[in-house]
Structure 1
Amino acid sequence: MRAQAVDHLSLLPLYAAAGTAILVLLADLLVARRLVTMGVLAVGGLATVVCAIITGARVGTFCDPSGSACSWVPGPLAATAAVVFAALTVGVLALSAPSLRLGTAPVGEFCFLLAASMTGGVVVGYAGDLITLIVGLETLTLPLYLLVGLRRFAPGERVTTSAASASVTFFLISVISTAIALLGAALNYAATGALHFDRLIDGSGPTAPVATAGVALLVIGVAFKVAAVPLHAWAPPTYEGSPLPVAAYLSTASKLGGVLALAAIVTRSEAGALTALLAILTMAVGNLVALRQTRMVRLLAWSSIAQAGYILAPLALGLEGLEAAAAYAVFFVVLEFIAFGVVVALRQPGADGGDIDSYRGAARRSPWLGAALVLALAGLAGLPPGLAGLFAKVTIIDVLLDGDQLWLACIVAVNAVIALAYYVRVAAVLYSAPPAVGIPVADPNLLEAALHPRLGVTRPVAAALVVATVAAVTLGFAPQLLFDALS
């Protein structure tokens, strides 16, 4: 039988993303200028966005002889995912510009690893079988092990082990989760003889229990990428030990890749009960532990764990909840990026996120940054003026009610109420009056907030925040734009 021709136009987003990584490497080797290397990555990310948009309606490629199942599947969800991955890459590059200017990380290596991770994200979005999906996930994740620990120390600076420890922790747990996912894929292939998503379980055969066990292991292994309970403990220390822009990428792009992988598996298999259990545990643990956090990045990390639970909830319905879960994931990514972007803008280049009390009065010193962070926190909490987050949570609950999952909708609502406590607490700290200088202060974090001078926001960071904030406001007032893109 004659093999089908490869549709290279369908592969344009992959070519653009992978080509960007190669060009970044060549630019660093041949030109060795910081602005040129960063410019190549920025242009390549924008080119990936354009290629994803223009190829959204193409047919699949790398198909079986009958053409009924393909390994590369373009579509609205895949195109939207590629656009978000590329936009996040450019945004994180902008957030990293102040630190890269100071030489806290080698520019060439940083940009190459970021471009390679973007390539993996694009592959995950377009994957149509387990092999392509796992290769894409590992390509997305492997560069992050290095980015977490990639830092240069200035002469005389005290070398800490937090970044190295975070990188090793991330690597070890990821290896275990990948092994579990590969075991699940092997069991499923042994039972079904197929790798494509629409053939994950053959319910009529005697090997159906083996296939079901394989899917369960796949779900558990991939759940690591979204920091779902019980594979969640790596996220807070890894985010805390990473440079802030890398933590932003971990919390958005890495999580989005995991959500897409889980969606591809659970919406085409009989894993609804397991997904619902993961959603409940992830929401509850994330919100309850976030209530006790005193460090800003750790609070955002536990918050992102809870948000992953909200995303998993509609996936328990299968294909009926796919669009709602994908829309919520995009809303979350935009709002989370704004939150991390404001933290980057309020801190010194290369500094960590600091304690929450060190942000006391920050909105008074920088009103626009404070407003952007409140918008992000309100959206993550599902409150006005964060209309994007409010609409996302309403969509989740509405889909669950339509799917006769009243009990799960109630659990989502209860967890959303619990989350209000820590989101409101952070917002209140931003507008609280800082302690007066000259009066003895017992807490050194409060003294830091009082004496910390207002820093000018660099142009790349300001541009990234403006674009992300405009996107959040636009999606809040016109969420149908996102649903139209997904459908």
Structure 2
Amino acid sequence: MIDHVALLPAYLAGATAVLVLLVELLLARPGAVLLSGVLGAAATAVAAALAARGPARGTFCGAGGCSYVLDDRAALVAALFALLALGVLGLSAGHLRAGAVPPGEYCFLLACSMTGGVALAGARDLILLIVALETLTLPLYILVGLRRRTAAGAMAPSADAAVTFFVVSVVATSVTLLGAALLYAGTGAVRFAPLAATLADGPPAPLLPLTRVGVVLVLAGLAFKVAAVPFHAWAPATYDGAPLPVAAYLSTASKVGGVVAILAVVTGAFRPALDVAGPVLAALAVLTMTVGNLVALRQRRMVRLLAWSSVAQAGYILAPFGAFAAAAGRTGDALAAAVAAAIAYTVFYVVMELGAFAAVTALRPPDADGGDLADYRAAARRSPWVGAALVLALVGLAGLPPGLAGLFAKVAVVRALLAGGAGWLAVIVALNAVIGLAYYVRVAALLYAPADPRPAALPATAPSPAEPHAVEPPSTRPAWPVAAAVGTTALLAVLVGFAPQIVLAFAGR
């Protein structure tokens, strides 16, 4: 029996993609296409939020439990994916108006990816989990490659970025599928509940190594979605080559998808195997945060810096999972604290990262890429409100006041690690947070630095050198949906910074 109410958010997300196609076919107006996508994403978010207030509902059920469950946490995750799509559509208004991307294909692919995220929220078996993740990821290959030319008219690197993303993603998916196949061979189950029961009872001795390898492979494949080292190589080139709104969606929705998937399998299917999953995730967390921060120190392009920062942030998100092995031998409260810290950090990160990309999008021309860091010199002097929003996002990612949300997120992670008996990992998190201050503060200071006093470049036909003058790029006024996205994310950052208990209370449920 199929529970259609449980599937209502997924239905609405899929209907949004169909609606966009029909509007593009019948009206062929970018504004109408964008409006239909916005309305569909908003309806999906509202339906998912309303579903969170009711009892848990399951569908595709059998003797071993249900493959899809819509409970309060799944409904709110689905609403988060819909809101992310809504925000990215707002950031895309300038790109669609300038003709930088085709509106019909762009909004359709974004709606398809949103559908995958909504389905992922309630997945309770390995097959549905992998299918939902691929539905979330597959449209992104094409979205990354939609920007064909830069603002200067040169060929954009988006095609190379899309190919890199595709190749690495296919390998990661193959690894995940291999791990799921080994687990099915060793336990005979793909639903989380019977899989966890079989692992708790202990599979036959000859099949025990098979199941352990399966656990490691599934976690390794899912680590790709959060750009964890050594599965991170796709992120910098892909973010830098994609249109800025697509890079914003990649750095938030894709990471949320990976975190939700890892959280689901570790706390559901792999809970009896925490002695295997914990060390794997701890090693991934240490490598990810350290490599991400060290390489970010050397970046000279804004989007690449945000990409490597995103890699480092993934390490902080994975760190509480690394305490699972120690927590398993202690108390259930320590394990619950680790899960709550990972969820809370993910929410705080999404708000800050989306705010950073929104401000960067507002500061750049609609058809331009992220540019070099030098392009942002004195940007806060030319656009005070947008510059302040970018600084708030950067200091929040660094964990400095007034970005209190980032500070509370890091404190929650460190407390969870100490409660789980992983003090050594808490020390590494603290050291990496200090390293991250260097590049976040450097960029924030550059925004308020005086304009570059060097002489401007002269045309080749100039008869004589001109007098040196300050390089002051003209201020570009963003489209109102972009300005609205900047203001909304900044407001959310302030709200969760002064009232973090809103997020922490939900994460601890």
2:292 to 286, 290, 294: 286
Closer, same or farther: CA 292–462 of 1 in aligned 2, 3 Å: same
Aligned to 1:295: 301
Deviating more after overlay: 70-79 vs 427-436: 70-79
8 Å CA contact retained: 2:455, 2:469: no
Q: Please say which of residues 283-292 and 266-275 is displaced more in the overlay.
A: 266-275
The Cα shift of 1:151 comes to 2.9
Deviations 1:347-380 (A, max 9, x none): 1111111111111111111111111111101110
The one of 444, 467, 476 equivalent to 1:455 is 476
In structure 2, the residue matched to 1:205 is 203
Structure 1 residue aligned with 2:374: 357
Letter in 2 for 1:429: L
Question: Once the 2 structures are TM-superposed, how far is the Cα of residue 159 of structure 1 from its aligned partner?
Answer: 4.4
Please point out which of 174, 178, 182 is paired with 1:179.
174
Whichever residue aligns with residue 86 of structure 1, its letter is A
- Contact 2:282 2:318 survives alignment (8 Å): yes
Paired residue for 1:344?
A: 361
Q: Give the conservation status (yes or no) of the 8 Å contact 1:25–1:112.
A: yes
Q: What does residue range 97-136 of structure 1 map to in structure 2 within 5 Å?
A: 97-136=93-132
In structure 2, C-alpha distance between the alignment counterparts of 1:471 and 1:18, rounded to whole Å: 28
Contact 1:103–1:152 under 8 Å retained in 2: no
Moved more, 19-28 or 179-188: 19-28
Q: In the aligned structure 2, how far is the partner of 1:161 from the partner of 1:384?
A: 37
Query: Structure 2 regions of 5+ residues with no counterpart?
Result: 325-334, 459-467
The residue that corresponds to 1:480 in the other structure is: 501
Aligned length: 476
Tell me whether 1:59 sits opposite 2:81 in the alignment.
no
Q: Name the counterpart of 1:410.
A: 427
Amino acid at match of 1:247: A
Match of 1:193 among 183, 188, 193: 188
Q: Which residue of 2 aligns with 1:261?
A: 261
- Residues 153 and 413 (structure 1), Cα distance of their counterparts in 2 relative to 1, 3 Å cut: closer
Structure 1 runs not aligned, ≥5 long = 442-446
The answer as to 2:5 corresponding to 1:9 is yes
Give the Cα separation in 2 of the matches to 1:247 and 1:362.
Answer: 21
CA contact (8 A) 1:180 1:220 kept: yes
Alpha-carbon shift at residue 153 of structure 1 (Å): 5.0
> In 2 relative to 1, CA 355–438 (structure 1 residues): closer, same or farther, beyond 3 Å?
closer
Relative distance call for 1:65 and 1:436 in structure 2 (3 A) is: closer
Distance apart, 1:123 and its partner CA: 1.1
Structure 1 residue 263: deviation in Å? 1.3
User: Which whole-Å CA distance do the structure 2 matches of 1:63 and 1:223 have between them?
Assistant: 27
User: 2: distance between equivalents of 1:280 and 1:448?
Assistant: 47
Q: Quick one: distance in 2 between partners of 1:460 and 1:295?
A: 25
Distance 2:455 2:299 in 1: 29
> Quick one: distance in 1 between partners of 2:454 and 2:303?
26
- RMSD of the alignment, in Å? 1.9
Contact 1:10/1:58, CA 8 A, preserved across alignment: no
1:55 Cα deviation from its structure 2 partner: 1.0
Aligned partners of 1:182 and 1:378: how far apart in 2? Answer: 39
Q: Structure 1 431/158 Cα, relative in aligned 2: closer, same or farther at 3 Å?
A: closer
CA distance in 1, matches of 2:267, 2:317: 13
Q: CA deviation at 1:437?
A: 6.9
Deviation at 1:322, TM superposition (A): 1.5
Q: Which residue of 2 aligns with 1:273?
A: 279
Q: CA-to-partner distance for each residue in 1:405-452, whole Å, 9 max, x for gaps?
A: 1111111111101100000100110111112375889xxxxx998231
Supply the distance in 1 between the matched residues of 2:505 and 2:27 (Cα, whole angstroms): 42
Could you say if the C-alpha distance between residues 45 and 357 of structure 1 is closer, same or farther in structure 2, counting changes exceeding 3 Å?
Answer: same
CA distance 1:210–1:76, change in 2 (3 Å): same
Aligned residue among 154, 157, 161 for 1:162: 157
Q: Find the partner of 1:92 among 84, 88, 91.
A: 88
Match for residue 444 of structure 1?
none
Find the counterpart in structure 2 of residue 216 from structure 1: 216
Give the 3-state SS of the residue equivalent to 1:72 in structure 2: strand
Q: Name 1:237's counterpart in structure 2.
A: 237
CA deviations 1:251-284 (Å, max 9, x no partner) are 1111111111111122342201100000000000
Provide the C-alpha distance between the structure 2 equivalents of 1:448 and 1:44, rounded to a whole number of angstroms.
50
Contact 1:366 1:454 in 2 (8 A): yes
Counterpart in the other structure of 2:330: none
Superposition deviation, residue 152 in structure 1? 5.1
d(CA) in 2 for partners of 1:450, 1:178: 47
State the distance in 2 between where 1:409 and 1:301 align.
Answer: 23
SS at match of 1:378: helix
Distance 1:402 1:45 in 2: 39
Q: Which amino acid aligns with 1:344?
A: T
* Alignment-derived partner of residue 40 in structure 2: 44
CA apart distance, 1:202 = 1.6
8 Å contact 2:358–2:486 — kept in the other structure?
Answer: yes
Q: Percent identity?
A: 56
Alignment partners' CA distance in 2, 1:103 and 1:449:
32
Bigger CA drift: 315-324 or 138-147?
Answer: 315-324
In 2: Cα distance, 1:224 partner to 1:131 partner: 17
Task: Give distance in 1, aligned partners of 2:40 and 2:68.
Answer: 21
**Residue identity opposite 1:480 in structure 2:** Q
Residues 239 and 297 in structure 1, CA contact (< 8 A), matched pair in contact too: yes
In 1: Cα distance, 2:345 partner to 2:152 partner: 42
TM-score (norm: length of structure 1): 0.94
